[in-house]
Amino acid sequence: MRGPPIDEIHFDEAPAVDEFPGPKARELLDRQKEIDSNAVAYPDHIPLVPDEAKGATIRDVDGNVFLDFFAGIGVLNVGHANPYVMDAVHEQADKLVHTVDFPSEPRLDLIEKLEAIAPGGLAGNSKVVFGGPTGSDAIEAAIKLAKYNTGGSGLVAFRGSYHGATSGAMSITGKKDFKEPYAPLLPNVQFAPYPHPFEQGKTPERAVADSLREVRAIIEEPYGGMTNPAGIFVEPIQGEGGVVTPPEGFLSGLREIADDNDLPLVVDEIQAGLGRTGEWWASDHYDVTPDIVTTAKALGGVGFPLSATIYHEDLDTWGPGDHAGTYRGHVVAMRAGLRALEYVEEHDLLAHARRLGDDMRSRLRDVDAPAVGDVRGKGLFVGVEFVDGDGDPAPDAVKRVQEHCYENGVLVWKAGQHGNVLRLLPPLVLTDAQAEAGLDVLCDAIERVDVEHAASSASR
């Protein structure tokens, strides 16, 4: 068997928290604050100082052990330090690390594997380009490829989107305060509404129809505003936007609009792909074949930086050097990525993610808490949206839930345009027992917050 079973790759004692943050953690957090960049963000929300990690568990420098329902923002799909992956990492690191784009067996093996699992009609008909190490780099490559093949410049994106922190990726990201200091960015970008299943006053069908109508108007109407379109960029599930899972008909409708206008449909699978949703790609749930797919995060196996852009072979019109990047030959990451994909297959983690994710959403929906407005997602990509008594976003509730969780040994993150969505991204190797233990803590936190929420509403 390729690697040990999933119940053998974690610390046994999680969750187990004594003092958090402990004295060693406080010392290192203070040291970081003194010498590190002001751009550091995550310790402001969770005062965690990791020391060692295995599977879906993390031990900090003071010996506290946590269940990880965060996985480095969906990076660690096969868990921390997965032994099947790490064996290959150690072997490869002692042999060859960096090759630019000279051929190597790990590079070619990973390309062939990605072509084999590519969504829909891309399987067997695709090319793969590696560039820089991050998801933003994959988006930049996709923008360049779309423009190169169409001769256009206009990009259609969606409200609530997040595609990365480089200039082009920020241009098609919806978050205004994130990109405002760096304007102007790419011109000729227009944003359409993303159909939100929890949007008040609209059925899912109406939300899809309204979104598609707007996309078509931007591209096709004489006064739609966009000149020279080059492509449509979409997340199959919006991650940073709040685990917004579009209703049926949305992605297939975009596919139809793209076909009608000879435009590439670019699907950003950086967070949702490589098994996170219980399929290799989130677009597989909707039976839609993209023209271009971006991937990163979990692609590096156990956290190695690696991104790729997968695209239909008909779009492979680039000449040598038309897209480049120094770290497009990270052989260790490529070896790790292939091993991670093999581990997912060997241990049937796609089916495991579908079943366990359904169970987790079911239990969260059963929590008697009016502050929970919606529970959604696919596979082990779970979003819980919190609202107040008037149905408005309740970000403070999410913050209190997050605090209760980490104080009791469970790491969870948040998302959403208003910060009112709890985002769960546990490794696909999370066991049933770990999921139950983590949900015990999480559901208790939700019930406690809901009691506070009810008392606050009554006092008004």
pLDDT digits (tens, 9 = 90+) for 285-308: 999 999 999 999 999 999 999 999
Whole-angstrom CA distances from 76 to 23, 56, 98, 297, 323 are: 28, 9, 22, 8, 28
What pLDDT is attached to residue 348? 98
With beta carbons less than 8 A apart as the criterion, state whether 306 and 97 touch: no
What pLDDT is attached to residue 81? 98
* Topology of domain 85-346, CATH: Aspartate Aminotransferase; domain 2 (3.40.640)
Average pLDDT over residues 125-129: 97
For the chain, give the mean pLDDT.
Answer: 96
What pLDDT is attached to residue 406? 97
Domain limits, CATH 3.90.1150.10, in the chain: 6-76+349-459
Residue 281 has pLDDT above 80, yes or no: yes
Average pLDDT over residues 147-154: 98
At 202, the pLDDT band (50, 70, 90 cuts) reads: confident
| pLDDT tens-place string over residues 408-435 | 999 999 999 999 999 999 999 999 999 9
Phi and psi at residue 211, to the nearest 5°: -65, -50
What pLDDT is attached to residue 452? 65
User: How many degrees, rounded to 5, is the angle at CA 281 between CA 278 and CA 285?
Assistant: 70
**Nearest by Cα to 356 from 387, 328, 382, 322:** 382
Residue 215 has pLDDT above 60, yes or no: yes
With beta carbons less than 8 A apart as the criterion, state whether 115 and 128 touch: yes
Average pLDDT over residues 132-158: 97
Provide Rg for the chain, Cα atoms. 22
| pLDDT tens-place string over residues 26-68 | 999 999 999 999 999 999 999 999 999 999 999 999 999 999 9
Q: Residue 26: CB partners within 8 Å, gap ≥ 6? A: 47
What pLDDT is attached to residue 455? 53
What pLDDT is attached to residue 453? 59
Domain limits, CATH 3.40.640.10, in the chain: 85-346
Residue 363 has pLDDT above 60, yes or no: yes
Cα–Cα dist 389/30, whole Å: 39
- H helical segments located in 347-389: 349-366
Q: Which CATH class is domain 6-76+349-459?
A: alpha beta
Element spanning 140, H or E:
helix 135-150
Residue 456 has pLDDT above 70, yes or no: no
Q: Give the 3-state secondary structure of residue 421.
A: strand
Residue 160 has pLDDT above 90, yes or no: yes
- The pTM of this model reads 0.96
Cα–Cα dist 162/165, whole Å: 9
With beta carbons less than 8 A apart as the criterion, state whether 261 and 254 touch: no
| pLDDT tens-place string over residues 231-279 | 999 999 999 999 999 999 999 999 999 999 999 999 999 999 999 999 9
Average pLDDT over residues 213-226: 95
At 1, the pLDDT band (50, 70, 90 cuts) reads: confident
Q: What percent of the chain has pLDDT over 70?
A: 97
Average pLDDT over residues 389-400: 94
What pLDDT is attached to residue 177? 95
What pLDDT is attached to residue 374? 95
Average pLDDT over residues 93-106: 96
What pLDDT is attached to residue 37? 97
- H helical segments located in 384-431: 395-407
At 451, the pLDDT band (50, 70, 90 cuts) reads: low
Cβ count within 10 A of residue 78: 30
What pLDDT is attached to residue 132? 87
At 171, the pLDDT band (50, 70, 90 cuts) reads: very high
